Structures are given as C-alpha cells and as structure tokens.
Amino acid sequence: MSSLEKETVVRVARVARLRLSEEELAKYGKDLEEILDSFEVLNSAPSSESYDFNPIPVMDVLREDEPFIDIDPEELMKAMDTYEGYVRGPKLS
C-alpha cells in the first residue's frame, strides 16, 4: 500500500508549481494513492540487465556550431512579453 500523506501531496504540488485547494489536495491524493497501488505490480517484474531512455537506439547527431537565423527573432518574440529586446519575467527573490 503506497500511503500518500497529505504532506506528500503538498510537497509534490509545490515542486510541480501547482497551487491546490484543500478539496483538490484530497481528490488528487486519493487518485494518486489508487494509481500508485496499481503500480506495485512492478515490484514483481523481472529487472532487465540494462535499460535505455529510448525504445530504439538513438545516436548523437552532431553538426558544425555555426550561427544562423532559422526563424526571425521578431516572430519568436511575439510568443512572449518583451521590453527593448529583453524577455520580461518575474523577480528571482
């Protein structure tokens, strides 16, 4: 049984940058507990000798590091708030 304490859900939500109401904490906590319980079957699965991060072999693809403009920066800046060519963001502290 993967008991999921409320404090754990609060911690996970904080890491995921999600603000949850008390009602949401209870709902997702219950759902996650049930889902994680169903994952327990993995403990009985034989472990493979190796693992990879992709289902097929993937090789490194290298190219010359030459600067070029692929997409007009003006176009790219339309997808964000900018000020005098800088991307605006929140304060860090």
Partner 1 sequence: MTPKVDIEAMRRTNERFEPFCEMISVVPDEDHEFTFSAKDNLCAKGFQARAGSRILEGYRPPFDATPIWKMRAAGGLLLGKTNMDEFGFGTFSTNSGYGIPKNPFDPTRACGGSSGGAACAAALLPGHVALGVSTGGSISCPSSFCGVIGMTPTYGRVSRYGLIDYGNSLDKVGLISRSISDIERFLPVISGSDPKDPTSCCQPRLDLSKVRKGPMAVPKECLEGLTPDVARTFDDAVQTLKEGGTEVDVVSMPSLKYAMPAYYVLATTEASTNLARYCGMRFGVAEREYAQHFNDFFSKTRSESFGDEAKRRILLGTFCRMVGFRDKYYLKALSVRQGITKEYLDVFKDHSMVLSPTMPFIAPKFDEIASMRPLEMYSADFLTIPPNLTGLPHISLPCGYHSGMPIGMQAVAPHWEEGTLIDLGKRWGTTFAYKVPEACQ
CA angle, corner 80, sides to 76 and 83, nearest 5?
A: 100
Residue of the chain from 1, 3, 17, 23 that contacts partner 1 (CB under 8 A): 17
Residue of the chain from 22, 41, 85, 86 that contacts partner 1 (CB under 8 A): 41
Footprint on residues 54-93 left by partner 1 (CB under 8 A): 54-61, 63, 71-72, 75-76, 78-81, 87-93
CA dist 87 and 40 (Å) reads: 45
Length of the chain: 93
CA dist 74 and 14 (Å) reads: 34
**Residues 6/25, Cβ–Cβ less than 8 Å:** yes
- Assess 38 for contact with partner 1 (CB under 8 A): yes
**Residues in contact with partner 1 by the rule CB under 8 A:** 8-9, 12-13, 15-20, 24, 28, 31-32, 34-36, 38-39, 41-43, 45-48, 50-61, 63, 71-72, 75-76, 78-81, 87-93
